[in-house]
Structure formats: C-alpha cells, structure tokens
C-alpha cells in the first residue's frame, strides 16, 4: 500500500497542505457524460476510463459532494463500493478499468451556484475549484486531465440551446418533445474546466481567422432581449484573440469559442474550455446601462478568460496551491491588453489603486497569505487579491527584471514545455531563468513570503562636493505564521531630477534592492536633487521617503513618468490628510497649488488629470494611520475637498463645461472627458456652490450615457439636496426591469457618504428587489456598505450587526459568496478598542452559528486570531 492519502478529498474541517502533494493514484484518460437534464431532477451517467498511476494497491477514490450513487459498475458489472464522507471508494483489481456511475442531482435547488444550477430558467455549471464533484463522482483535482464527451438531452421548448466544451458533434430530436446534442473536447482537461449550458438563448456571432488561417466561430449567448448589449464583448473578444497572437504568439485551438452570460454567478467569469461562462455584468453593455468603468471591465474580463485558454487551460495548475500560476499570470496578461487599448498610464494607476484598496489590506491583516499558499481549509477562500493581483505584480517584476525579449522567451519556453500538462509556479520561474540566464533564486521569496515589503529611501545632497547619496532599506512585516522574513528582491526604477532646472540629473536606473539595505551615490550633482522612486510602481511595496512637500509638489508637476507624477500628488495629499487627522493641521495650500497646476497643464491627458486630482480614499488614508478614526478621516477629507472646490471653483467649472458638450463615444478621449467631468462636478458641489445640486440633477436628467447618469445620481445621493429622492425614484423606475442597473441603484446608496447611510441600507435590505440569492445584489448592498468606511463603522456597532446578520443568512444559501464578505469585519485590529470589541463580538456570533459552512468557519476563525 503506497499511499491513499493523496487521492483523498479535503476532510470537512481538515487543513490541506502543499507539502503533502502526491501524484494521483489513478488517472482518467477519457470520460463520457450523459445528462438527462431537468431543473428538478437531472440524471447523470458518467463513464470513466481509469488507469492505475504507478505501482500501488490503493482503491479508486472518486470525489463526490452531496451525491448518492444510483449504480456503480466496473467493466459493465455492478460492483460493491463504500462511501467515505462524500467520496466513493471502489476496490478494483486491475490496472485499467471502465467505471460507470449514475447519480441524480437537483439543479433548481442548488443555491450555492457550484456544480450544475439554474439561473433565470436556464441551466449552467460552475466547477472551479471543486464543483465538478457536485455533478458526478470523479478525481476532482486539477492534475487529472481527461478527454470529455458530453451528451445532453432536454426539453426542446424550454432548453432549445445545448452547449458544452469543445466542438459540437451531433444533435437530434428525441421522444416527448425532447432533443439532444453531443459535444467533444479533443483537449485533455481537468474537471474544473468542464461546462455545459442548456437554455433559451440567442447568440451574437462572428468569425475570427487565426494567425495560421483557422476559422473560428465566436458566439456570445444571452437572452434574446439582451442581444443588442453584446457587441462590445464580441469586439473585445476579437481584439483579445489578435492581441494574444501578437504579444504572446498564442493562437486559439478549437473551431468554436462560446461565451454564455448568466445573472446568478459567484464571481466574475469562468474560463471553461471553449465555453466561457460569465456573470452577465461582464458581458452586457450599452451606453444607456453601462458606465465607462463597466465597458472597461467587460473588455478586461473577456480578455482575461480568453487568455486563460493558454495560461490556465493548455497549461493548467498541478494543485490549487499553484492557483496564481494561472491567475497572476493571466491578470498580468489582461492588464497588458487593457493598457494597449487606451492610456497605459491611467491603466497602471487604476491597477495600483485596486491593489492598494484590496491586496495591501489583505496582506496586512489576519487573512494574509503567500502568493503560493502553504495550506488552506477551503480553496474557494483563496481566490484573493493576493493570488490574482499581487500574483500579477510578481510576474510584472520578472518582466521588468528580464526585459521584454527575455520575458517573452521565458513565456514561449513555458508554454512549449508544459503544454497539455499541469504545472507549478516553480516551473514558470525556472523557464524564466533558463530563457534569460538570470538567477531568480532569491526572487522566489515573492511566492513564499506574505506581507507588503516596506522600503525607506532617504536622499542626502552635499552641495559642496556635488555628491548625492541615496540610502535604501527594506523590511518585510510579520504575517500570520511567518514571524521572520528574509530580504526580497525589489526592482526599483529610480531617477533624480534637479530642483532648479527640472532636468534629469541621471538617467533612470533599475535598482535591484536585494539586501536589507543599500547605498547609491551620484556624483557631479550641482543642484538640489529630487528623488523619483518606484516609477511605474515597479515593485508592489510601500515606500517611505524623506521628500518634502516642495519635492512632492515639484514631482507632481515635472516627473516624466506618469505614474510617479500621480504618486507624488497622492503622497502630497496623503501627507496633508494624515497631518490633519493626527495633529488637526489643515494646511491645504500646497495641495491646492499642485492641483491647480495639474488642471492647467494642457499637455496632460484628461483621464490622467482626473486620476491625479482625486483625493485618496477614506480607507487608504486609514491604512496610513496606527488607529483608524473613520469619522475624523471623513471630516478632514471633506474639508480638503471643500477647500479645493472653493479655491479652484472657476477651474472646476471650466473643466466641467469643456467636457459637457461631448456626445457619448466610448473612446479613450471620451472616457477621459467624462471622468474629469464627474470629478469636477464633485468639487463644484464640495465648494458649497448654490447651483451644485442643480448641475448634478441636470447632468443626471440629460445624460445620454450611464456614466454621466450615475455620476449625477451619486453626487446627489451624497448631498443633502432633496433632489436626491426624485433622482433615485426616476432611476429606479427607468431601470426597474434591469437587474444590473438596479444593482447600481442599491450600490450607490450603500456607498453614500451621508450621515444616515447605515439606516438607509438596513431599510434597503427589506426592499422587494433585494435578495441574497443573487450574488451581484448581495454584493451591491452588503458588500458595498461594508467597504463604506465611515458608514460601516458608524452607529456603535449597528453596521457590524447588520453585516453579520446578512452573512449568517447568506451562508445558508451560498457559503462562497458569504465568506468573501468577511474581511471588512476581520479588520478589527485596526480600530479603537470599542469598535474592535464590537467587531469581534459579531465575528464570534457568526462563528457560533450552528451549521456554519467550512468557508465561513475558516475566514471567521482566522479573522479572530
């Protein structure tokens, strides 16, 4: 008996460890699935060709979750079996067998939205990470790759369209108004990439010709009435396919590529081979219902899922600890795609803002984990900003260190060598090393050490000798289970500017800080140097510098790296706000002057200006403070907004008017103009101008696009103006039958900066359109409210209680979606003793709930440590 443990499924409360990885005992070369589809009772027959993997006498163990075998046959003969928890265990004598199992499942009763479930009258699947075991018995782990044949039979009137992975093979009519279809996927794949869809759907189709001349039929499948909203996604798909050929040399490999949009979905989308399934919010877009942000997100997610065809499907993950192998790399790829569609600088700013909003707090809190985790209880809890976004930064750093040619040589090597296999993060890094000759031994710490490194940089200049010295020091903070850290490799793009001439003193250099500290000297420095560091956000770290207000203002006007320029302005604003919160100082003059200069610079792209003049968020300000005081942060930030609004009122009005005349066009310039328009409107209102609410209402009312309409609505909802009620009603009535827009209606109110937000959100939870059964709706109200720093932490624990109540209720339906919403409560250590105690007691109340899911139990108990 060699080892049966490796193939055993996660024990309900057990910890799964990366170090325990063992190759599978049994492989499955082929699987044929036969579905008799019905929402209430679907019959699934699975036929597996299994082969013993290596010399051992372990039984065949097939993962199952909530399944009862109706029959189990080995080589056509009914065979005894045992159940260990959900796992089907069959003692089989030989080295190769045909196993047939039959089960019945109930998609309509599946509220977890994992496995086969019903959404809007259609049937669809979600299998990543461990949903396939809710459909049929199978070794549900990503290193078992099989060829799939799928046959579906269903009522023809109700489910006229039957889709699965790969290529359609045959279809026909059956008795009793039913019909059937067969699909075959020639590429061996892990079970998490299985998908089927049955429904009343219509497709927006197109043809794409690949670089080698293969014709691919593309289809975006939605409800008939939503067809007009699919052009943007289809266009993004074609752009993505061409981009992956040009930038990575990756070609699509099947004759069809289908995407289906569904309303009930636990996350963004899923890269099932040849049949991506999407949350409809990342497919449907038209000017009347989608903001520019939505348009960008649709294109980014379409690209992301498409890119997975190589980084994820052709080369998959050996085990779930390697999740960032596909997710970090694919996020890096989709970021590159989006950067190439418009302003790369603005895209980088947005990505860094996102990283700081979601990943930095995660890395600084109780749920911190390495990009390649060492253990988990529930893998669904590890689809995190660390795996995705920090993972993308890790790939980006390798690209920066190697340079574009060697990086591309590394990805070519990786795709070629591991095509058709299940690989590891180590395999990827080794390919980068081999292709470049660069030693990445120490760099690998980025995969194993959690926590955001901190760099202290101080620049001293000796005018007499003309020598400047830059001292760099790094430290990596302790995180749960990792008290001591080794220094990491931090690629820092650095440049010095002369304060008088505004000219570069030295060309930009890439400094690889790999020791705890380092010194750099610069000679012949005749004027005072100003330090530009971590340009382009070349390393995902926190940088503390000794730069003065004057230096930051200088850089915000003169730095030639757009990210560094934005960063200087952010730092100036942050320093000002932190001083205001901690010492009550309110010296706003430097920020006002810097913002005025940025607004007045005609050379700057409008989208960049809009990002640069925006104040850091309440939560990011809070992240800079030893103890977060949400109310003080809000008040000081509002005071700065008011002063900026007042001091520059003519400039804001001018910027607003300049953008107002434009008709809607989804283009980089159009987006930039709208963004600056809404930022400017916000400042005009903040100034206290008497006509602020009228301007907002007029914009809301006359808008020819959702960006402007929602921008006007948001401004009103955050104001004291009575017009906000009218605007909310108009918006609600106009979009009452559009779930995605109603989500915006809920979310805008949940994010409101008003005093009565907490009460309003509680009332909205009883609104007839509110439901926890739809993840988008739950996130729009509960998720948004929990990140509204001021509102969530107001009212002596009222916000915490509300969120905890909702999470307890949601966990009954959908543990994955509930567990994702735990982190805001888990941040209790960052708050004063009274708030911390209240947050903890809500976490304890959740943990004490009978029948709490494994997902919630892991998140909440870690959050209490």
Which spans of this chain sit near Zn ion (rule: CB under 5 A)?
A: 327, 330
Residues 6+ apart with CB under 8 A from 348: 339, 536, 537, 562, 563
* Nearer CB in complex with ligand ARG: 334/708: 334
**DSSP state, 615?**
P
Q: What distance in Å separates the CA atoms of residue 266 and residue 125, rounded to the nearest whole number?
A: 11
- Mask 827-856, x = binds ligand ARG (CB under 6 A)? ------------------------------
- Mask 1-40, x = binds ligand ARG (CB under 6 A)? ----------------------------------------
The minimum distance between CB 394 and ligand ARG, in angstroms, equals: 16
Catalytic, out of 305, 611, 762, 842: 305
The minimum distance between CB 334 and ligand ARG, in angstroms, equals: 10
Q: What distance in Å separates the CA atoms of residue 459 and residue 743, rounded to the nearest whole number?
A: 49
Q: Which stretch binds ligand ARG (CB under 6 A): 50-58, 162-170, 247-255, 268-276?
A: 268-276
Residues 152-181 that bind ligand ARG (CB under 6 A): none
Determine which helix (DSSP H) or strand (DSSP E) holds 296, and give its type and residue range: helix 292-307
Asked if 129 touches ligand ARG (CB under 6 A), the answer is yes
* Number of residues lying near ligand ARG (CB under 6 A): 12
Residues 6+ apart with CB under 8 A from 729: none
Four-residue CA torsion sign, 372, 373, 377, 382:
negative
| Nearest Cα residue to 598 out of 636, 572, 574 | 572
- Mask 637-656, x = binds ligand ARG (CB under 6 A)? --------------------
The minimum distance between CB 308 and Zn ion, in angstroms, equals: 6
Which residue in 320, 383, 446, 683 binds ligand ARG (CB under 6 A)? 383
- The strand pair at 87-90 and 82-84 is best described as antiparallel
Which residue in 21, 267, 664, 770 binds ligand ARG (CB under 6 A)? 267
* Nearer CB in complex with ligand ARG: 129/455: 129
Rg value, the chain, Cα = 28
* Nearer CB in complex with ligand ARG: 248/267: 267
Range 732-740 contact pairs with CB under 8 angstroms and sequence separation of 24 or more? 735/289, 738/289, 739/263, 739/280, 739/774, 739/776, 739/777, 740/280, 740/281, 740/284, 740/289, 740/290, 740/776
- Helix, strand, coil: what percent of the chain each, to 5? 45, 20, 30
| Nearest Cα residue to 396 out of 384, 411, 381, 382 | 411
Residue nearest to ligand ARG (CB): 383
Which residue in 233, 270, 591, 778 binds ligand ARG (CB under 6 A)? 270
Q: Which does 270 bind (CB under 5 to 8 A by kind): Zn ion, ligand ARG, none?
A: ligand ARG
Check: CB of residue 18 under 8 Å from CB of residue 375: yes
Q: What distance in Å separates the CA atoms of residue 514 and residue 472, rounded to the nearest whole number?
A: 10
Q: What distance in Å separates the CA atoms of residue 336 and residue 779, rounded to the nearest whole number?
A: 28
Which residue in 269, 435, 703, 752 binds ligand ARG (CB under 6 A)? 269
**DSSP state, 662?**
P
* Nearer CB in complex with ligand ARG: 383/566: 383
* Nearer CB in complex with ligand ARG: 88/302: 302
Residues 273-312 that bind ligand ARG (CB under 6 A): 304-305
Q: Which does 383 bind (CB under 5 to 8 A by kind): Zn ion, ligand ARG, none?
A: ligand ARG
Q: Which stretch binds ligand ARG (CB under 6 A): 154-162, 245-253, 266-274, 771-779?
A: 266-274
Active site residue 245: no
Asked if 132 touches ligand ARG (CB under 6 A), the answer is no
Asked if 858 touches ligand ARG (CB under 6 A), the answer is no
Q: Which stretch binds ligand ARG (CB under 6 A): 45-53, 71-79, 198-206, 263-271?
A: 263-271
Asked if 327 touches ligand ARG (CB under 6 A), the answer is yes
Q: How far apart are the first and last CA of the chain?
A: 39
* 823 phi/psi in degrees, rounded to 5: -50, -40
Q: Which does 269 bind (CB under 5 to 8 A by kind): ligand ARG, Zn ion, none?
A: ligand ARG
| Nearest Cα residue to 385 out of 365, 357, 366 | 357
Q: Please report how the helices 549-558 and 589-600 are oriented relative to each other, as an axis angle in degrees rounded to 10.
A: 10
Which residue in 25, 63, 182, 271 binds ligand ARG (CB under 6 A)? 271
* Nearer CB in complex with Zn ion: 131/487: 131
* Nearer CB in complex with Zn ion: 128/567: 128
Q: Residue 762 is encoded by which pair of tokens?
A: 């509680």
Which residue in 101, 122, 359, 380 binds ligand ARG (CB under 6 A)? 380
Determine which helix (DSSP H) or strand (DSSP E) holds 436, and give its type and residue range: helix 425-436
* Nearer CB in complex with ligand ARG: 719/817: 817
The minimum distance between CB 330 and Zn ion, in angstroms, equals: 5
The minimum distance between CB 9 and ligand ARG, in angstroms, equals: 16
Q: Residue 82 is encoded by which pair of tokens?
A: 């045992």
State the alpha helices, DSSP H only, in 601-722: 606-612, 618-623, 630-647, 649-660, 668-686, 692-702, 706-717
Length in residues, the chain: 865
* Nearer CB in complex with ligand ARG: 327/629: 327
The minimum distance between CB 320 and ligand ARG, in angstroms, equals: 10
SS3 287: coil
* Nearer CB in complex with ligand ARG: 305/350: 305
Active-site annotation, residues:
305
**Residues engaged in binding ligand ARG (CB under 6 A):** 128-129, 267-271, 304-305, 327, 380, 383
């Amino acid at each position: 008996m060699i080892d049966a443990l490796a193939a055993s499924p996660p024990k309900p409360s057990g910890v799964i460890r990366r170090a325990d990885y063992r190759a599978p005992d049994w492989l499955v070369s082929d699987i044929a699935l036969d579905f008799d589809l019905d929402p209430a009772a679907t019959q699934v027959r699975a036929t597996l060709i299994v082969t013993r993997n290596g010399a051992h006498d372990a039984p065949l163990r097939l993962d199952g979750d909530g399944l009862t075998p109706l029959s189990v046959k080995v080589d056509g003969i009914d065979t005894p079996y045992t159940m260990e928890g959900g796992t089907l265990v069959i003692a089989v004598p030989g080295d190769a067998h045909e196993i047939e199992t039959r089960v019945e499942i109930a998609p309509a009763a599946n509220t977890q939205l994992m496995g086969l479930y019903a959404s809007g009258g259609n049937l669809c699947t979600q299998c990543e990470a461990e949903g396939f075991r809710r459909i049929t018995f199978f070794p549900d782990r990503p290193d078992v790759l099989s060829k799939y044949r799928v046959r579906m039979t269903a009522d023809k009137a109700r489910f006229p369209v039957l889709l699965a992975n790969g290529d359609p093979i045959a279809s026909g009519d059956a008795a009793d108004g039913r019909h059937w279809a067969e699909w075959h996927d020639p590429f061996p794949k892990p079970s998490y990439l299985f998908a089927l869809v049955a429904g009343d759907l219509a497709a927006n189709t197109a043809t794409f010709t690949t670089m080698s001349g293969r014709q691919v039929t593309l289809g975006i499948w939605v409800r008939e009435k939503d067809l007009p909203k699919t052009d943007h996604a289809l266009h993004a798909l074609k752009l993505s396919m061409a981009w992956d050929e040009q930038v990575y040399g990756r070609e699509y490999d099947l004759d069809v590529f289908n995407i289906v949009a569904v309303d009930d979905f636990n996350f963004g989308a899923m890269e099932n081979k040849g049949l991506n399934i999407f949350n409809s919010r990342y497919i449907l877009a038209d000017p009347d219902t989608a903001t520019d942000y939505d348009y960008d997100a649709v294109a980014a997610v379409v690209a992301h899922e498409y890119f997975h065809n190589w980084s994820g499907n052709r080369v998959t993950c050996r085990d779930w600890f390697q999740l960032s192998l596909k997710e970090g790399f694919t996020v890096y790829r989709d970021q590159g795609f989006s950067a190439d569609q418009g302003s790369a600088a603005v895209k980088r700013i947005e990505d860094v803002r996102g990283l700081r909003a979601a990943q930095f707090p995660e890395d600084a809190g109780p749920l911190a984990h390495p990009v390649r985790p060492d253990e988990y209880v529930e893998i669904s809890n590890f689809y995190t900003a660390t795996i995705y976004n920090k993972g993308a930064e890790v790939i980006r750093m390798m690209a920066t260190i190697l340079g574009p040619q060697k990086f591309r040589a590394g990805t070519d090597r990786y795709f070629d060598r591991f095509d058709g296999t299940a690989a590891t993060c180590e395999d990827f890094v080794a390919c980068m090393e081999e292709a470049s000759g660069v030693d990445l031994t120490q760099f690998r710490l980025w995969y194993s050490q959690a926590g955001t490194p901190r760099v202290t940089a101080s620049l001293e200049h000796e005018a007499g000798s003309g020598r400047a010295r830059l001292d760099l020091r790094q430290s990596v903070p302790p995180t749960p289970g990792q008290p001591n850290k080794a220094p990491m490799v931090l690629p820092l793009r650095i440049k010095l500017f002369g304060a008088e001439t505004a000219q570069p003193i030295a060309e930009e250099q890439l400094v690889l800080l790999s020791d705890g500290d380092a010194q750099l000297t610069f000679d012949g420095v005749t004027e005072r140097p100003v330090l530009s560091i971590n340009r382009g956000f070349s390393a995902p770290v926190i940088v503390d510098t000794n730069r003065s207000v004057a230096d930051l203002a200088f850089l915000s006007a003169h730095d030639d790296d757009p990210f560094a320029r934005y960063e200087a302005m952010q730092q100036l604003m942050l320093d000002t706000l932190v001083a205001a919160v901690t010492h009550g100082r309110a010296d706003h003059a430097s920020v006002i002057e810097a913002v005025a200069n940025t607004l007045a610079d005609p050379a700057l792209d409008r989208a960049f200006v809009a990002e640069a003049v925006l104040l850091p968020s309440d939560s990011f300000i809070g992240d800079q403070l030893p103890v977060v005081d949400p109310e003080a942060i809000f008040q000081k930030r509002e005071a700065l907004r008011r002063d900026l609004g007042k001091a520059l009122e003519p400039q804001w009005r001018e910027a607003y008017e300049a953008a107002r005349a434009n008709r809607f066009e989804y283009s980089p310039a159009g987006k930039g103009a709208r963004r600056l328009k809404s930022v400017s409107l916000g400042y005009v209102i903040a100034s206290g101008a008497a006509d602020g609410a009228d301007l907002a209402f007029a914009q809301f009312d006359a808008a020819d696009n959702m960006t402007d309409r929602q921008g006007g609505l948001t401004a009103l909802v955050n104001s004291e103006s009575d017009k906000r009620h009218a605007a909310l009603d108009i918006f609600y009535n106009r979009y009452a039958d559009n779930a995605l827009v109603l989500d915006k209606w809920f979310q805008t109110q949940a994010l409101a900066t008003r005093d009565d937000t907490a009460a309003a959100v509680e009332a909205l939870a009883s609104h007839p359109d509110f439901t926890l059964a739809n993840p988008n709706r739950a996130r729009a109200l509960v998720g948004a409210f929990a990140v509204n720093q001021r509102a969530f932490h107001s009212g002596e624990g009222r916000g915490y209680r509300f969120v905890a109540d909702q999470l307890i209720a949601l966990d009954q339906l959908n543990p994955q979606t509930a567990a994702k919403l735990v982190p805001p409560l888990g941040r209790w250590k960052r708050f004063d003793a009274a708030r911390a105690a209240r947050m903890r007691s809500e976490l304890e109340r959740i943990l004490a709930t009978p029948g709490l899911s494994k997902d919630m139990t892991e998140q909440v108990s870690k959050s209490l440590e």
